[in-house]
Structure 1
Amino acid sequence: MKKSIRFTAAFFCVMLSLLCFIQPVEALEAPEVEGVRAAILYNVENEKIIYALNENETVYPASSVKLMTAVVAYRALKDRLGETVTVTKEMLKGVTGYRIGLAEGEETTVESLFYAMLLRGSNDSANVLAHLASGSTAAFLEEMNRYAKELGMENTLYLNTGGLHEEQMVTTVSDTLKIALEFAKEEKLLEMSSVTKYIFPATNLAKQFTLYNRNYLVSRFQETKYYYEYAKGMNYGSTEESGSTCTSVASNGGLTYVCVVIGGEEDVATNTDFALRTASDLLRYGIEGFGYADVIDTEKPVCEMPVTLSANVDHVMLYPGRGLSVYLPSDVDVATDITVSRRLSFDSLAAPVTKGTVVGYLNVYYGDAQIGSVELITGDDVERNGFLYTLEVIKEYSRSRFFRATAISAVVLTVLYVFVSAAVRRRQARRSRRYRF
């Protein structure tokens, strides 16, 4: 019976080293990316780049500059969002490109300026925010570049607040990802850049008007084919030299992805903006193509370990100490792509054994990469037999150096005693013969 149990346990051990207890889910192929200069898709929770195209190639940043403008300005002005400010001539100096038409002497709120910059890419709003945050455009640009260095954006240089083309102003999508992650941490910025429209309040110089979000991943006002239900905020824009840029975030099922696309082309014939299309496709790929898989089942025994000093059992089953859920592509076949190996700390255990005792580790691999490790623990308590324990103590004592030294000493003393006793008897015998004569 015991041989049968051991055979069954050994069978489980082999099978569980090959299988990880779940069925693979349907795979999602990576999208075909075309018509963009550079792109990157990043999973926040696992800090992994899921897709990258020319991620370290320098490109013109265009409207992605406004991510840095927004973060630096917001952290300086977040307690003043409801404050009414007055636009000055200096704030509007040198502003070109898209504007909402702010005028000298116009009064509006800080919050409205953020909405105008984030939803429509308003360059005059960006410049006003820069002045409010740092006192001047020059001081604000200095802060933008200082913070870029702090974030490790080594290939980025900012020369204006809105992203208008300047030959020396460059970045990379891997650098832009770093500021996009900071933007995503600011819930208010993400909230503002996610709305489909904003009614800009009337000012002392202008009537109210409506701003529509031009990031069509989150808005369906003018275009619906790029819309993605799990997408949130950030920004979109373009320049002739850079092409279009799109940065967005998508969250679902406890997973968050940030996507940056720069250098998008436009196909007029098909009315396709490749930056928007690529961002939408990559975010879908992240959400639908990856997830967590349970690769360790705590209810399944892994193998057995011999146990001594017990009269009831001669082994104890080992189990994973906890389950393990791993972030993997959805096309991974766990039965064939995931392998498990065990490392035991002991060859055997001596009773008593307490359930839950850690006796080794179970390592999990995807290809050649280790993706997790859990403890191997004993599955039951095992009582010690007193008689077997006593015999073991005697056996161990008999193997000890002290016992051996004592035994050797006893033998030596016994031999000496025999020799001495014999010598004494011989001497006494000679004396007895002498006295007889």
Structure 2
Amino acid sequence: MKIKRFFAAFLMLLTVVSLSAVPVAADDAVTPVPDPNIQAKAAVLIDAETGTMLYGKNEHNELYPASLTKIMTALLTLEAVDQGKLSLDQEITASASALNGLAADGSSAGIKVGETMTVENYLKCMLIVSANEACDVLAEAVSGSVSAFVDAMNAKAKELGCQNTHFVNPNGLHDSQHYTSAWDLYLITAEALKYPEFMSICDMGVAEIPASNLSETRRLHTTNYLLSNWRANGYLYSDAHGIKTGSTSEAGHCLVSSATKGSRTLISVVLGAERIVGADGVADVQSFSETKRLFLWGFENFSTKTVLSELDMLADVPVTLSKIDSVAVHPASAVDLILPNDVKPEELEQKLVLPENVKAPVTAGQELGSVELSHNGKVYVSVPLVALNSVEASKLLTFWDNVQQFFSRTIVKVVLVLLGVLIVIGVVWKLTLGRRRYRYGKPARRSRGYRGRRR
């Protein structure tokens, strides 16, 4: 019996020891975010809500955009509609000047000189099948001429903060002086997305254009392989929405796209990708495959995290002219950031920008400074810091402060110096010139009597 108990105890001990020997992963162990190593000349991935760049590769390099140019053309057209210069249902007739000089092998919807369509249908031809002639027709409608429209394109790019962009035409046909960058294209796209009609058209896999005076009904199939497999198989991505394709031999294959998963929307720009043919003879247009891979990487490796709360008291700011020495400051609002999964909110570096002191009175909610959040040198956000409570000023301390400020003013100092100089001059004059004047100007002595010649 004792032997059985001994073996039972021995087996339990072995079990405990073996379990304790099994390595247990630390609770805070997080897999580092891998580099997606996107195969293209340049690329960016942006969180649409916050504008945070999740990925960037040569994002400011000047590159040829090809038909991605048409995003700017659409933006200016919709801006004109918003301003009442045009309407979506307004009919426009294609002129000979608009269709003149376009490359015969360029993207086209077969629009003819003298053909009449609505602004909306020209936009569909331009954004769905990348029709070059639709761009020039809209350019003339908006600005009166293509050259004037190009000037407006460059002015708008400058207004949006684009620093590496110069347009030569509204359609993106190659020109050595027609270039932009991945980042600038994001800025232009983000502005265009403010108009609901832009995305509603860009997101169409197929659309029908009613018959016109010179054409039967057109059925347009998108050039975006992420939205439709009508032109190519193997690229469909159910979370993708829009936006615009582009390709020339000089620009390579380019794509601006967006994707939504849950409450998050990402915007991507891929420039200068290649078309790779594998050993099996199957072609891979990498503007689509790399964009899809970039979206998957972004959704998998980044998440929204609350990094600051309104209840966080980050510092005390000294207060003068009051019986209370300091006032606490906190973020003006809670802050949520899109962060890599391997970065915890507490790992963010906080850089406080606060005055040495603040003069009373202070009101609750008054902005007193800011806090900048960063990680490994990347600044994520700068948040205003506001006073937690009000602080009243002391009347006596305020009075003396006003007196000191009055006498510290330059004009007052100058006046006081001049007065001092005048006083010194007056004293010197009194002590020197005044005495001399008194000495030389005193009356002569009177004669005691007449001392004439006696007779």
Pairwise TM-score range, normalised by the shorter structure? 0.5 to 0.7
Structure 1's 225 and 139: CA in aligned 2 closer, same or farther, altered over 3 A? same
Conservation of the 8 A alpha-carbon contact between 2:94 and 2:114:
yes
Aligned pairs, number: 331
In structure 2, stretches of 5+ residues that fail to align are: 1-26, 313-329, 353-370, 389-455
Structure 1's 160 and 288: CA in aligned 2 closer, same or farther, altered over 3 A? same
Does residue 331 (structure 1) correspond to residue 341 (structure 2)? The answer is yes
- Show the counterpart of 2:299: 287
Could you tell me how far apart the structure 1 residues matched to 2:128 and 2:385 are? 47
Structure 1's 249 and 323: CA in aligned 2 closer, same or farther, altered over 3 A? same
- How far apart are 1:250 and its partner, in Å? 2.1
1:297-316 deviation line (CA, Å, top 9, x unaligned): 9999xxxxxxxxxxxxxxxx
Could you tell me how far apart the structure 2 residues matched to 1:182 and 1:194 are? 16
Could you tell me how far apart the structure 1 residues matched to 2:309 and 2:154 are? 50
- How far apart are 1:225 and its partner, in Å? 3.0
Structure 1's 292 and 325: CA in aligned 2 closer, same or farther, altered over 3 A? farther
Deviates more, 1:42-51 or 1:231-240: 42-51
- How far apart are 1:135 and its partner, in Å? 1.2
- Show the counterpart of 2:244: 235
Structure 1's 328 and 77: CA in aligned 2 closer, same or farther, altered over 3 A? closer
- Show the counterpart of 1:29: 34
Please give the residue correspondences for 1:244-283 in structure 2 after superposition, counting only pairs within 5 Å.
Answer: 244-269=253-278, 270-283=282-295
The aligned amino acid for 2:101 is G
- Show the counterpart of 1:312: none
- How far apart are 1:67 and its partner, in Å? 0.8
Structure 1's 286 and 136: CA in aligned 2 closer, same or farther, altered over 3 A? same
Could you tell me how far apart the structure 1 residues matched to 2:159 and 2:305 are? 36
Structure 1's 250 and 206: CA in aligned 2 closer, same or farther, altered over 3 A? same
Match of 1:259, SS? strand
Does residue 72 (structure 1) correspond to residue 76 (structure 2)? The answer is yes
Conservation of the 8 A alpha-carbon contact between 1:41 and 1:260:
yes
Out of 111, 134, 149, which is 2:158 matched to? 149
Structure 1's 39 and 339: CA in aligned 2 closer, same or farther, altered over 3 A? closer
- How far apart are 1:337 and its partner, in Å? 4.2
- How far apart are 1:117 and its partner, in Å? 0.4
Does residue 89 (structure 1) correspond to residue 101 (structure 2)? The answer is no
Match of 1:72, SS? helix
Could you tell me how far apart the structure 1 residues matched to 2:272 and 2:68 are? 11
- How far apart are 1:23 and its partner, in Å? 7.4
Structure 1's 331 and 114: CA in aligned 2 closer, same or farther, altered over 3 A? same
Conservation of the 8 A alpha-carbon contact between 2:96 and 2:113:
yes
Deviates more, 1:153-162 or 1:234-243: 153-162
Out of 223, 229, 251, which is 1:214 matched to? 223
- Show the counterpart of 1:175: 184
- Show the counterpart of 1:420: none
Q: Give TM-score, length-normalised by structure 1.
A: 0.65
- How far apart are 1:245 and its partner, in Å? 0.9
Could you tell me how far apart the structure 1 residues matched to 2:351 and 2:42 are? 40
Q: Give TM-score, length-normalised by structure 2.
A: 0.63
Could you tell me how far apart the structure 1 residues matched to 2:269 and 2:375 are? 29
Runs of 4+ in structure 1 over 4 Å off: 22-28, 294-300, 320-325, 335-342, 363-377
Name the structure, 1 or 2, with higher relative contact order (CA <8 Å, separation 6+).
Answer: 1
Deviates more, 1:217-226 or 1:364-373: 364-373
Deviates more, 1:284-293 or 1:243-252: 284-293
Please give the residue correspondences for 1:17-416 in structure 2 after superposition, counting only pairs within 5 Å.
Answer: 29-34=34-39, 36-77=40-81, 79-96=86-103, 97-269=106-278, 270-294=282-306, 326-332=336-342, 334=344, 337=347, 367=375
Could you tell me how far apart the structure 1 residues matched to 2:191 and 2:373 are? 32
Structure 1's 321 and 175: CA in aligned 2 closer, same or farther, altered over 3 A? closer
- How far apart are 1:40 and its partner, in Å? 1.1
Match of 1:80, SS? coil
The aligned amino acid for 2:286 is F
In structure 1, stretches of 5+ residues that fail to align are: 1-21, 301-319, 343-362, 378-437
1:392-423 deviation line (CA, Å, top 9, x unaligned): xxxxxxxxxxxxxxxxxxxxxxxxxxxxxxxx
RMSD value over aligned CA atoms?
3.9
Could you tell me how far apart the structure 1 residues matched to 2:332 and 2:165 are? 45
Conservation of the 8 A alpha-carbon contact between 1:251 and 1:287:
no
Match of 2:303, SS? strand
The aligned amino acid for 1:84 is E
Conservation of the 8 A alpha-carbon contact between 2:349 and 2:373:
yes
The aligned amino acid for 1:48 is T
Could you tell me how far apart the structure 2 residues matched to 1:77 and 1:115 are? 15
The aligned amino acid for 2:238 is E
- How far apart are 1:53 and its partner, in Å? 0.8
1:309-342 deviation line (CA, Å, top 9, x unaligned): xxxxxxxxxxx99995632435226398468999
Structure 1's 293 and 271: CA in aligned 2 closer, same or farther, altered over 3 A? same
